[in-house]
Amino acid sequence: MSPRARRLACAALALLALVAADALAAGALSVSGGWGRPTPPGVEVGVGYLLIDNGGAADRLVGASSPRSRRVEFHESATPGGIARMRELKDVPVPAGGRVSFAPGAWHLMLVGLVAPLLAGEQVPVTLLFEHAGPREFVLGIGEAAPAPRPRRLVTLAPHLTELVYAAGAGERLVGTLNTSDYPADALRVPRIGDVTHIDAERLLALKPDLVLIWGDGSPADQHALLKRLGLPTLSLEQHRLADVADTLESLGRVFGTEAVANAAAGRLRAELAALGARYRHERKLRVFYQVWSTPLYTLGGRHVASEMLELCGAENVFKDQDESAFMVDGESVYARDPDAIALAGTAAEAKEWRARWGSQTPLRAVAAGAVFTLDPDLVNRMGPRIGAGTAALCAEVAAVRARLPVRR
């Protein structure tokens, strides 16, 4: 290796090491719960409180700054002999695996030389400098009291809830989930506590969750009962219409304090769905049989979100007049309703079997015309952030059938 090549290789390695160290530190140390009281006009100092959670090695807080004041100091309050005093600290140790709390009556940040008074409702940016972890930015929410603590150890009891937590910007707080949580890829590394039929209560408790997310009308009753018995803080979520998914993302953002990420994800989903609606609104309506199981034959009714998705694609569920959400039908009634197309919402293996079954019978018009298509059940059945992609896939299949189908008389 030439000296020049060696120097380059060294530089590249050093850079990689830096990037790796930074990524590790970012996961290990977090600042949350920043707040401070409003200041009266003319007062030149303000106070800030916060929490530092250090999941990594011992560190030290060595500096702080804010665009709102000339400087930011670390202070300690004490009341020797009943007289309140404060003294400045040069730095603050942050022990390994520990929490450092800046709170009224104890440590606090002192914003010295305020540029302008701190007003209720404001978000004041502050940067903390750690000896090892480097700079961390956060905000002080100005108000009369500390904000409610954000949940930091989450457990989800359904795969779509896992997807929602990631999309809302709190995926790194997941400490447990079910075996079926397989998206996004990071979710595969989250510890498992069981499946839909059995949850390991011991393991769930050992994870010390401060919030368990359960599927209101989808999780089995015994899971609801288990959470109640264990006394764990629970958030029950239900989504029935497409619009509910984006709304849920936004409310999760408020719960987690990750509004920026969650609101952006909600906005993307709404735009995705609105674009599909606009594109297919004036297309020729196709009548679709939406199959979710074969033996017995199962479909979905007018109140199920699948009917709304079909509607958005310029199609119509042939069983939309049925009130039940999911129900069994006999083959005869499918023949009687004579759909233009059949949508199979099943895995590749399931769909292959379902197709074969239709193929072995007196052909339906849709089957004879080859208007049978498969939908990825993870995209169309989960009321999560990928429901937009699922609806887009459904619309594309419907459009392909429409393009080939002769106009009916």
The 94-133 site mask, x for binding Cu ion (CB under 5 A), equals ----------------x-----------------------
Chain-centroid distance of CA 189 in Å reads: 16
DSSP 363: P
Question: If DSSP codes are grouped into helix, strand and coil, which group holds residue 184?
Answer: coil
For Cu ion, which is the closer residue by CB, 45 or 405?
45
For Cu ion, which is the closer residue by CB, 75 or 136?
75
- Shortest Å distance, C-beta 38 to Cu ion: 16
For Cu ion, which is the closer residue by CB, 86 or 243?
86
What beta strand segments (E) does 186-284 contain?
Answer: 211-215, 234-237
For Cu ion, which is the closer residue by CB, 86 or 100?
86
Residue 274 in contact with residue 280, Cβ under 8 Å?
no
The 137-176 site mask, x for binding Cu ion (CB under 5 A), equals ----------------------------------------
- Shortest Å distance, C-beta 147 to Cu ion: 21
Residue 184 in contact with residue 163, Cβ under 8 Å?
yes
Block residue for tokens 């264990």: 230
Task: Report if residue 86 touches Cu ion, rule: CB under 5 A.
Answer: yes
- Shortest Å distance, C-beta 71 to Cu ion: 12
In sequence order, what are the beta bridge partners of 141? 35, 123
- Shortest Å distance, C-beta 86 to Cu ion: 4
What beta strand segments (E) does 286-364 contain?
Answer: 286-293, 298-300, 315-317, 326-328, 341-345
For Cu ion, which is the closer residue by CB, 142 or 213?
142
For Cu ion, which is the closer residue by CB, 75 or 320?
75
Q: Which of residues 64-83 bind Cu ion (CB under 5 A)?
A: 75
Residue with the shortest CB distance to Cu ion: 75
* Contact stretch for Cu ion (CB under 5 A) within 62-70, 84-92, 360-368, 392-400: 84-92
For Cu ion, which is the closer residue by CB, 104 or 267?
104
For Cu ion, which is the closer residue by CB, 108 or 320?
108
- Shortest Å distance, C-beta 275 to Cu ion: 53
- Considering CB under 5 A, how many residues would be counted as binding Cu ion? 3
Task: Report if residue 304 touches Cu ion, rule: CB under 5 A.
Answer: no
Give the torsion sign (CA, 387, 392, 396, 402).
positive
The 21-60 site mask, x for binding Cu ion (CB under 5 A), equals ----------------------------------------
Rounded CA-CA distance 12/20 in Å is: 12
Rounded CA-CA distance 123/292 in Å is: 48
Residue 307 in contact with residue 300, Cβ under 8 Å?
yes
What is each CA distance from 33 to 49, 132, 147, in whole angstroms?
Answer: 8, 22, 6
Chain-centroid distance of CA 187 in Å reads: 11
Rounded CA-CA distance 212/407 in Å is: 52
- Shortest Å distance, C-beta 110 to Cu ion: 4
Rounded CA-CA distance 234/215 in Å is: 10
Rounded CA-CA distance 124/50 in Å is: 13
- Shortest Å distance, C-beta 279 to Cu ion: 59
Q: Kindly report the CA angle at 279 between 408 and 344, in degrees rounded to 5?
A: 60
- Shortest Å distance, C-beta 109 to Cu ion: 8
For Cu ion, which is the closer residue by CB, 110 or 129?
110
- Shortest Å distance, C-beta 59 to Cu ion: 22
Contacting residues toward Cu ion, per CB under 5 A: 75, 86, 110
